[in-house]
């Protein structure tokens, strides 16, 4: 290999290393300068944003570098009068550079994000995470989200459980320790402002946790479909898995409230939240009736039904698990 080729290969190898170092430094202090993300509402969201921007800067830098090299080749090896074209079968040094460099970047990203991934995907709240613990069960069903809180005894599936469909309420700076299940098909519990997503798989009980650090009432205004700024007082809960013909309507609201408001809510009392028309509306938990043949009480019996090892498959009509039996009045 000639000295000139070695020099060029060394320069090409040094550029990605400098680019990675600059990207890492920029990502650590950038926040969300390009406004690619929804407003961050959890401590872990900022760490995910830093990782995202590290990848963004690496991608942009690599694109600029490749295009610059391409333009240089177009100019340096352009057709010249009286100069015959030389034929080459490639250069092993350059091929090693463009093979090893992307592989090294991918390995670096895998190692760099490993701690954050294991922390956010831990089934138990990691050590060092302080704050009030709030247990909740989350059931996904086409095309709705259901939530159940333990009552005063602190145990689920007892007579004092409280339930609600469509609204999840947790106190600020608390750790929500949740159990997630699906009744029918694969859904995905996604909190875009928390940068958290977890699939809900029928027959599987998945434990997860998240930690809000900002009141939902302090959420910044967002634009509606007509471009107008509107003030919302909840964080979004959406399904990130195509789950049927009404998948886009499978949404719920996450209200992050003060400790005092949550204490009242957890006792079954109504709390006031803003509506999109500038007024107020009350939300309140309902008592779970385990013996009910219809509605919310019967619906939650499907939770323990999934723990029955003798069950070979899902209910025959998963959309209506509490539908009337043969001979009963609909």
Residue 32 lies in a domain: yes
Cα-based distances in Å from 61 to 53, 67, 97, 127: 12, 10, 16, 37
Question: Parallel, antiparallel, or unpaired for β 251-257 and 167-171?
Answer: parallel
Task: Let me know if residue 82 belongs to a domain.
Answer: no
Number of domains in the chain: 2
54 with 168, same domain: the answer is: no
Residue 52 maps to a domain:
yes
Which structure tokens are listed for 125?
């709240």
Is 102 found in the same domain as 39? yes
Looking at the fold, whether 152 and 270 belong to one and the same domain comes out as yes
| 229 and 290 in a common domain | yes
Nearest to 235 by CA among 283, 282, 169, 289: 169
Q: Please tell me the distance from the alpha carbon of residue 166 to that of residue 285, in angstroms, as a whole number.
A: 11
Tell me the residue range of the domain where 11 lies.
Answer: 3-75+92-120
- The neighbouring-strand residues paired with 19 are none
Looking at the fold, whether 159 and 279 belong to one and the same domain comes out as yes
Q: What is the pLDDT of residue 162?
A: 92
| Assigned domain for 220 exists | yes
Structure tokens at 53: 């921007």
**Residue spans of beta strands (DSSP E) within the chain:** 133-141, 144-149, 162-165, 167-171, 175-182, 187-191, 196-200, 206-210, 222-223, 229-230, 235-239, 251-257, 271-274, 280-283, 286-287
Closest among 317, 196, 187 to 246, alpha carbons compared? 187
183 lies in the same domain as 38: no
- Classify residue 315: in a domain, yes or no: no
What local confidence, expressed as pLDDT, does residue 255 receive?
95
Write down the pLDDT at residue 308: 62
Asked if residue 143 and residue 35 are part of one domain, the reply reads no
- In this structure, the answer to whether residues 103 and 170 fall within a common structural domain is no
Helix (H) or strand (E) segment spanning residue 262:
helix 259-266
Instruction: Enter the pTM of the model.
Output: 0.78
CA distances from 11 to 65, 70, 73 (A): 12, 15, 15
59 plus 188 within the same structural domain: no
Which CATH number do you get for residue 205? 2.60.40.420
**How many beta carbons lie within 10 A of that of residue 8, not counting itself?**
15
* pLDDT given for residue 32 in this prediction: 75
Residue segments in the chain with a per-residue pLDDT below the cut of 50: 1-2, 5-6, 9, 13, 27-28, 317, 320-330
Residues near 273 by beta carbon (within 8 Å), at least 6 away in sequence: 217, 233, 234, 255, 280, 281, 282, 283
pLDDT at residue 326 in the model: 41
**Would residue 310 count as lying in a domain?**
no
- Do 99 and 181 lie in a common domain? no
The 8-class DSSP code of residue 33 comes to: T
In a domain, 10, yes or no: yes
Q: What residue has token string 């302090």?
A: 218
Answer yes or no: is 81 within a domain.
Answer: no
**Residues 255 and 137 occupy one common structural domain:** yes
pLDDT of residue 330: 38
**Whether residue 190 sits in one domain with residue 115:** no
């Amino acid at each position: 290999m000639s000295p000139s080729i070695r020099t060029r290969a060394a320069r090409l190898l040094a550029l990605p290393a400098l680019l990675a170092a600059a990207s890492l430094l920029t990502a650590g202090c950038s926040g969300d300068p390009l406004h690619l993300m929804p407003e961050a509402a959890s401590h872990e969201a900022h760490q995910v944003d830093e990782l995202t921007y590290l990848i963004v800067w690496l991608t942009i830098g690599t694109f600029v570098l490749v295009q610059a090299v391409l333009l240089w080749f177009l100019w340096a090896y352009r057709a010249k009068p009286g100069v015959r074209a030389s034929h080459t079968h490639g250069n092993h040094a350059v091929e090693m550079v463009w093979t090893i460099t992307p592989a090294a970047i991918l390995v670096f990203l895998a190692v760099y994000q490993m701690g954050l991934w294991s922390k956010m995907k831990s089934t138990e709240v990691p050590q060092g995470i302080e704050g009030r613990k709030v247990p909740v069960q989350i059931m996904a069903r086409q095309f709705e989200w259901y939530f159940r809180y333990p009552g005063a005894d602190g145990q689920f599936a007892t007579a004092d459980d409280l339930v609600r469909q469509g609204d999840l309420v947790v106190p600020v700076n608390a750790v929500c320790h949740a159990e997630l299940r699906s009744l029918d098909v694969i859904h995905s519990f996604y909190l875009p402002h928390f940068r958290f997503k977890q699939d809900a798989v029928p027959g599987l009980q998945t434990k997860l946790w998240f930690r809000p650090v900002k009141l939902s009432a302090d959420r910044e205004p967002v634009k509606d479909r007509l471009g107008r700024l509107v003030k919302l007082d909840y964080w979004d809960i959406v399904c990130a898995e195509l789950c049927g013909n009404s998948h886009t309507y499978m949404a719920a609201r996450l209200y992050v409230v003060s400790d005092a408001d949550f204490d009242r809510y957890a006792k079954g009392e109504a709390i006031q939240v803003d509506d999109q028309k500038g007024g107020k509306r009350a939300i309140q938990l309902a008592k779970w009736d385990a013996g009910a043949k219809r509605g919310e009480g019967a619906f939650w019996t499907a939770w323990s039904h999934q723990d029955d090892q003798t069950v070979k498959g899902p209910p025959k009509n998963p959309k209506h698990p509490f539908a009337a039996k043969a001979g009963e009045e609909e």
